[in-house]
Amino acid sequence: MERRDLTRQILVVDDEATIRTGIAQILQKQKVAVATAADGQEALGLLARQPVGIVLLDIKLPDMDGVDLLKFIRREYPETEVIMITGYPAIQGAVECIKLGALDYLVKPFRVDELEVLIERAQDLVAQRHAPLSPEEGREQGIDFIVGQSPAMQKVFAKIRRAAPSDSTVLLTGESGTGKELAARAIHNLSPRRDKEFVPVDCSALVETLLESELFGHVKGSFTGAHQTKHGLFELANHGTFFFDEITNLSLNIQAKLLRVIQEREFMKVGSQKRIKLDIRIIASSNRDLREAIKAGTFREDLFYRLSVIPIHLPPLRERTGDIPLLVEHFLDKYRQRGDREVSGVSSQAMKMLCAYSWPGNVRELEHTIERIVILEDGDFIQPEHLPSFISQRQSEFQVFSDGEYTLEELEKRYIQLVLRRTKGRRQEAARILGINRKTLGHKIEKYNIKLK
Which element (helix H / strand E) includes 268? strand 266-268
Beta-carbon contacts of 41 under 8 Å, excluding residues fewer than 6 positions away, are: 63, 64
Tell me the Cα Rg of the chain: 27
Q: Is 452 part of any domain?
A: no
Give a yes or no: residue 254 inside a domain.
yes
Distance CA 451, CA 161 (A): 58
Residues 75 and 175 in one domain: no
Which of 108, 130, 152 represents a domain boundary (last residue)? 130
What's the average model confidence in pLDDT over 15-20? 91
Q: What is the pLDDT of residue 410?
A: 78
CATH code of the domain in which 228 resides: 3.40.50.300
- Evaluate whether residue 99 is within a structural domain: yes
Distance CA 210, CA 423 (A): 45
- Residue 33 pairs with which residues in a beta bridge? 9
Same domain for 150 and 199, yes or no, is yes
Strands 104-107 and 81-86: parallel
pLDDT 10s digits, 209-222:
667 777 888 777 66
Beta strands 281-286 and 170-173 are parallel
Q: Give me the mean pLDDT over the 299-321 stretch.
A: 92
Give the contacts of 110 (CB within 8 A, at least 6 positions apart). 85
| Phi and psi torsions of 240, nearest 5° | -115, -145
> Is residue 179 located within the same domain as residue 231?
yes
Output the DSSP codes for 215-242: HHEE-TTSSTT--S-EE-HHHHTTTSEE
Q: What is the pTM of this model?
A: 0.58
My answer on whether 306 and 159 are in the same domain is yes
Asked if residue 295 belongs to a domain, the reply is yes
Q: Are residues 302 and 335 in the same domain?
A: no
Contact partners, residue 365, CB within 8 Å, separation at least 6: 177, 359
CA torsion through residues 412, 415, 421, 425, sign: negative
pLDDT of 394 above 70: no
Q: Is the pLDDT of residue 177 over 60?
A: yes
**pLDDT given at position 224:** 66
Q: Are residues 78 and 210 in the same domain?
A: no
DSSP codes of every residue in 323-361: GHHHHHHHHHHHHHHTTS----EE-HHHHHHHHHS--TT
- Are 214 and 308 part of one and the same domain? yes
DSSP letter at 367 equals H
CATH code of the domain covering residue 337: 1.10.8.60
Tell me the helices (H) and strands (E) count for the chain, helix number first: 20, 16
pLDDT at 2: 38
Mean per-residue pLDDT over the chain, rounded: 82
Tell me: do 250 and 324 sit in the same domain: no
Residue 363 has pLDDT above 80, yes or no: yes
Q: Is the pLDDT of residue 199 over 50?
A: yes
* Of the residues 94, 109, 130, the one at which a domain ends: 130
Lowest model confidence (mean pLDDT) among 57-61, 132-136, 278-282, 291-295: 132-136
The rounded distance, in Å, linking the Cα atoms of 9 and 51 is: 8
Q: Where would I find the H helices in 65-146?
A: 66-76, 92-99, 112-130, 141-144
Q: How many domains does the chain have?
A: 4
The pLDDT, as a whole number, for residue 453 is: 58
pLDDT score at 1: 34
Query: Are residues 378 and 241 both part of a single domain?
Result: no
**Residues 357 and 323 grouped into a single domain:** yes
pLDDT value at residue 186: 94
Domain boundary among 399, 414, 431: 399
Range of the domain at 253: 139-313
Residue 180, pLDDT > 90, answer yes
CA distances (Å), origin 53, targets 98, 390, 420:
17, 33, 46
Phi, psi of 49 (to 5 degrees): -80, -40
Q: In a 3-state reduction of DSSP, which class is residue 26?
A: helix
pLDDT computed for residue 139 by the predictor = 42
More confident: 88 or 161: 161
Beta pairing, strands 54-58 & 33-37: unpaired
For 109-157, what is each residue's pLDDT tens digit? Answer: 888 888 988 898 888 877 765 554 444 444 445 577 788 888 889 889 9
Give domain status of residue 453, yes or no: no
Contacts 24+ apart (CB under 8 A), 160-167: 160/186, 160/187, 160/190, 160/312, 161/190, 163/187, 163/310, 163/312, 164/188, 164/189, 164/190, 164/191, 165/190, 165/191, 165/192, 166/310, 167/281
Residues 162, 39 share a domain = no
Q: What whole-number percentage of the chain has pLDDT above 70?
A: 87
**Residue 444: CB partners within 8 Å, gap ≥ 6?**
412, 416, 436, 450
The predicted structure's pLDDT at residue 38: 93
| Residue 150, domain member (yes or no) | yes
Contact 75, 48 (CB under 8 A): no
Band (pLDDT 50/70/90 cuts) for residue 3 is very low
- On whether both 151 and 39 belong to a single domain, the answer is no
